[in-house]
Chains A and B, each alone.
Chain A
Amino acid sequence: MSAPHPQVSSTPWAIDIDHVGKVFTLDNGESLVAVDTVDLKIEKGEFVALLGPSGCGKSTILRLVAALEDPTTGRIAIENRDPLSLSRQHRLGVAFQDHALLPWLSVKNNIALPYKVAGRPVDHERIADLLGLVGLKGFENARPSQLSGGMRQRVSIARALILNPDVLLLDEPFGALDAVTRRHMNVELQRIWGEERITSLLVTHSVEEALFLADRVIVMSGRPGRVVKSIAVPFERPRRPEVQRTAEFHSLADELTLALEPEEAAAS
């Protein structure tokens, strides 16, 4: 699927995180450097995973790109524009670890929420297509409380995709799921993403998830958060689950694990 807002840009980057730092002032007056100068360029249609231990500032970067926070230093541009103006134009899609579905709305109405927020007529065909894509046909009128954890995340991903966003932001979307469901959801997301090919930023602490889903994996260290490694993932798309059992996958996973745990690397 082609991008819904084709435009000529002066820089080739879909997301340009330009020497961005974020300092939080704590209640006791101390300041906490959550993100130290991070410089990251993401191409249009590229899927980038931010990998790091908890508290390394990877979620902060995603929140900065989502215009939920302002950078203390540096600047962020999405398609050469301020993230806030994109969010105001309803061109960002987001899925959080907490599925954030509205419990009083049916599955269908939860997915339709961005239409209402954008003041656009609800495209029922698009909703039906997306429900099929995330494998939830027949659950249109179910309530979130009637669904399993994995199904709720599928709804949340369908909602993120409904307006054909320019950028898809995924903050540990499967972090609260059990290992088996999580692996299954990764296979599903890989397939869904293959159909839509939206510029995507995934935050995760799972090496396998990052490797299986992304075109590029960025490893961050905490605190303060900074980029310590960046590797391109060579596997062709569409990726089959079997790719996770190849020797190449294992050696890349080892490399990323070592980058995550430099102390262990130094000791061995």
Chain B
Amino acid sequence: MMKIDREKATDLVLGVLGIGLFLVLWEVIGAYRLAGLTWPKLSDVLAFLFEPSRQGLFLRAMGASFSMVAAGYVLGLVIGIAMAALVHVINPLRPGMDRFASVVNAIPPIALAPIFIVLLSREVTGMAIATLNVFFVIYVATTSGLQSSTRGHRDLFAVIGASKIRRFMSLDMPAAFPALVSGMKYAIPAAFIGAILGEWFGSSRGLGLLMVSAMQNFQIPLLWSAVLIASTASLLAFGAMSLLERFVYGRFR
């Protein structure tokens, strides 16, 4: 017990040291202009970010982007799970759906963006790309998870006379849960990429818009601030999902 705790503590210390080192390097590179004028000091970016007069600007951008990320994530999650469940129950649909998902994933979102802008609107293009990205990750994770029950479990359900629906509810779904949660973890950065990429294509709000306009107007601290917000949010959500994943793996396997 003590040994495991010590290992955990070592991991934690090393992790904190690593992050600290990264932040110090950022500051040093900025302070000595080692990467040119476009790499600001971390302290400058933070000062810019927490300047009270800009709170409104950042909060509005965060509200717009994160609502697109969340909407795209939830939509992709629901569609991904629903499609995976459908092809699991109606097996002949599976090869077709697998191929469709792969083809959609093989098209770069940047090529689809103009179509979404025409079909939907500029404001929801980011959400639509996020939905597509999340859908693919969730669909793949859920279809493989639904098949992860062991032969012993399937035999048991057959012998005790379980209907297909009962087996799906009591065996296939809970057995798929760890794979689904892993998929949900990897879908987080996919949702952020989609939403922010979508905002580059002329959305009137959001962090993506902030990045593009800051870049074009050479507002270096603003650009880095927007990137820092998006990255931190993505990493925090990813970390939260990692914790959930650990809990689910402990409980469902």
Contacts and interface: CB of A to CB of B under 8 A. Distances in A.
A172 to B, nearest CB: 12
B245 to A, nearest CB: 15
Contacts of B174: 102, 104
Nearest to A90: B161
Contact of B166 (A94, A100, A116): A116
Contacts of B150: 98, 100
A68 interface: yes
A103 interface: yes
Contact of A117 (B152, B155, B161): B161
A87 B161 contact: yes
A193 interface: no
B6 interface: no
B152 A96 contact: yes
Contacts of B155: 63, 66, 68, 94, 96, 100
B157 interface: yes
Contact of B153 (A90, A92, A93, A102): A102
Interface in B126-159: 150, 152-153, 155-159
A38 interface: no
Given A87-B160, A100-B156, A117 B166 contact: yes
A98 B161 contact: no
A96 B253 CA distance: 19
A113 B160 contact: yes
A87 B253 contact: no
B173 to A, nearest CB: 10
A117 B159 contact: no
Contacts, number: 64
A102 B171 contact: yes
B3 interface: no
Contacts of B177: 104
A88 interface: yes
A83 B85 CA distance: 30
B158 A68 contact: yes
Contacts of A87: 158-161
Interface residues of B, number: 20
Interface string A108-139: 00000110111000000000000000000000
A67 B134 CA distance: 41
B23 interface: no
Contact of B159 (A92, A98, A99, A116): A92
Given A102-B171, A104-B174, A94 B153 contact: no
Contact of A100 (B152, B161, B162, B253): B152
B43 interface: no
A113 B251 CA distance: 18
Most A CB atoms within 10 A — which of B153, B157, B161? B161
A116 B160 CA distance: 10
B160 A90 contact: yes
A169 interface: yes
Nearest to B155: A68
A95 to B, nearest CB: 9
Interface in B149-188: 150, 152-153, 155-163, 166, 170-171, 174, 177
A169 B159 CA distance: 10
Nearest to A169: B159
Interface in A169-204: 169
B162 to A, nearest CB: 5
Interface in A61-84: 63, 66-68
Most A CB atoms within 10 A — which of B158, B159, B170? B159
Interface in A23-72: 63, 66-68
A130 to B, nearest CB: 15
B185 to A, nearest CB: 19
Contact of A67 (B159, B170, B251): B159
Given A92-B161, A100-B150, 5 more contacts: A63-B155, A66-B159, A90-B160, A96-B155, A118-B161
16 contacts: A66-B155, A87-B158, A89-B161, A92-B161, A94-B155, A94-B159, A96-B152, A96-B155, A96-B156, A100-B152, A100-B155, A104-B174, A113-B160, A117-B157, A117-B160, A143-B251
